[in-house]
Structure 1
Amino acid sequence: MVSEAIIRHIESGSLREGDRLPSEGELAISHGVSVGTVQKALTQLVHSGLITREQGRGTFVSGARVAPADVRYLRFRDAEGNDLSSYVHARSVKRLKRKGPWSEFLGGESFVRIERVINVGGRFDLYSEFWLREQDFAELGGVDRTALEKNLRELVAQRLSLPTLSVDQWIRFGQVPAAAANELRIDPRAPGFIMELRGYTLRRRPLYYQSIYSGPFPERLVITRESGR
């Protein structure tokens, strides 16, 4: 409830970048909850990149741009059937030569992994790894945080003229990788939600590989078949 209220204020514009939030005590009183509950809600929003906390100064709407996530293939709804807002926060961009399902699909020797966290309605996070061949990523030119927090497939289509024409999608439950479990703060020994996507461009050329992870969630998941449009 506390998280959703803050997110609604950000969405409506009543809270803007750099604005200071009420104190923990004020939030607790206004929502009729304990300070401990408020602290948990704020910690979740900090982790997702929506707000920042500064020692001795207070809590502020994040200076990093957090854009609504264009995740047509993966949406969540509450018990009343309302779509939950999603927000992307870029974590890192790394060049790797490590092998895995991404290298088997994409081919080549060097890859770039874009790590992002998608916050769903202030309730829980998804952890995403988006893989491209290093040569394709280099041809994108300079990519800043703002670009990485938008739709990556549209970015590739616009800058490289390589549209996503089809996507293979799989969902399973299994052990979440340690890095994802640490980012999501879930038990790495427990089974988690895993979604894998393989995108193709012209002439069925492999374009990108993406994996999405999450712990348990009670919300309703809506999966839309990808058409590339």
Structure 2
Amino acid sequence: MTKLERISNAIIEAIESGALREGHRLPSEEELAVQHRVSVGTMQKALARLAHVGLIRREHGRGTFISGHKVAPADVRHLRFLDEQGHPLTSYVHAHGVKRMKRKGPWSDFLEGQAFVRVDRTINIGGKFDLSSEFWLREEDFDKLGGVERQELESNLRELLLHRLALPTLRVDQWIRFAPPTAVAVRALGLDPEKPGFLMELRGYTLRDKPLYYQRVCAGPFSERLVIVRQGPQVDGPP
């Protein structure tokens, strides 16, 4: 385990245990460096990594604060990552933004609309590596949500659709392949656009088997163990 991984794991474990909570102010970089027995430069790199995935926020003149949102495994229910001992790794979500578009692609082929909304997020897996997630909805469905705060974008989007619109995810098709990263993943994760990595496509269906969302999850090469989980229906309802 590298120094950066050791520092990241220590801070993440403190968040998981409740020792560090959202809004908690961290000690200075110098104090943290002494605490973890590393140089200030190494500590700065570790904090930059945690800030990139949204676990912390750094405010000029004020300090560094815990800001990450831990999400339940259900939010990435089709992917489960395990450590070497077989324990599941906690996932953290950082929302980058919402983009409206009329551009065509596999999302439009599936959703069959004219205008779409894409939610771009980064999912950090146990402080070890990052996934880029692109989540598409029809624009009309997104607008029916009535406004979505950033914290909600960093929660379970499927649950949001269920509770706001009464649209449960009843079935999901999924494909995995080895392919070059998407343009969104290249920007979010700093990947080489020519180097193939992990790409997973998901198509979610709701009541009466109507298309609900299209999602792409992308990552560069990684060595962690990966388990693909197939879920049954979330709630009972008519086909």
**Same fold by TM-score, threshold 0.5 exceeded?**
yes
> 1:53-92 residue pairs with structure 2 within 5 A?
53-62=58-67, 66-69=69-72, 70-92=75-97
Q: 2: CA distance between counterparts of 1:175 and 1:122?
A: 23
Partner of 1:21: 26
Instruction: Determine if the alignment matches structure 1 residue 97 to structure 2 residue 108.
Output: no
Q: Say if 2:132 and 2:184, in contact at 8 Å, map to a contact too.
A: no
Q: Output one character per residue of 1:16-71: Cα deviation in whole Å (capped at 9) or x when no partner.
A: 23322223333333323333332222111000111122334432212xx6132422
Q: Which runs of 5+ in 1 are unaligned?
A: none
Q: 1: CA distance between counterparts of 2:104 and 2:132?
A: 20
Instruction: Determine if the alignment matches structure 1 residue 37 to structure 2 residue 42.
Output: yes
Q: Say if 2:71 and 2:156, in contact at 8 Å, map to a contact too.
A: no
**Match for 1:46 among 51, 75, 82?**
51
Q: Output one character per residue of 1:130-185: Cα deviation in whole Å (capped at 9) or x when no partner.
A: 10111111111121112211111111122222211111001111111222112112
**Match for 1:12 among 9, 17, 31?**
17
CA RMSD of aligned residues (A): 1.6
Q: Output one character per residue of 1:189-214: Cα deviation in whole Å (capped at 9) or x when no partner.
A: 11111110001112221111000111
Q: 1: CA distance between counterparts of 2:169 and 2:21?
A: 34
Q: 2: CA distance between counterparts of 1:68 and 1:222?
A: 18
Q: 2: CA distance between counterparts of 1:129 and 1:33?
A: 36
Report the residue type matching 1:83 in the other structure: P
> 1:109-124 residue pairs with structure 2 within 5 A?
109-124=114-129
Q: Say if 2:181 and 2:191, in contact at 8 Å, map to a contact too.
A: no
When normalised by structure 1's length, the TM-score is: 0.92
> 1:84-163 residue pairs with structure 2 within 5 A?
84-163=89-168
Detail structure 1 runs of 4+ shifted over 4 Å in the superposition. Answer: none
Q: 1: CA distance between counterparts of 2:36 and 2:224?
A: 22
Structure 1 range deviating more: 80-89 or 48-57: 48-57
Query: Percent of aligned positions with the same letter in both sequences?
Result: 65
SS in 2 for 1:210: strand
- Structure 2 CA distance for partners of 1:162 and 1:17, relative to 1, 3 Å: closer
SS in 1 for 2:76: coil
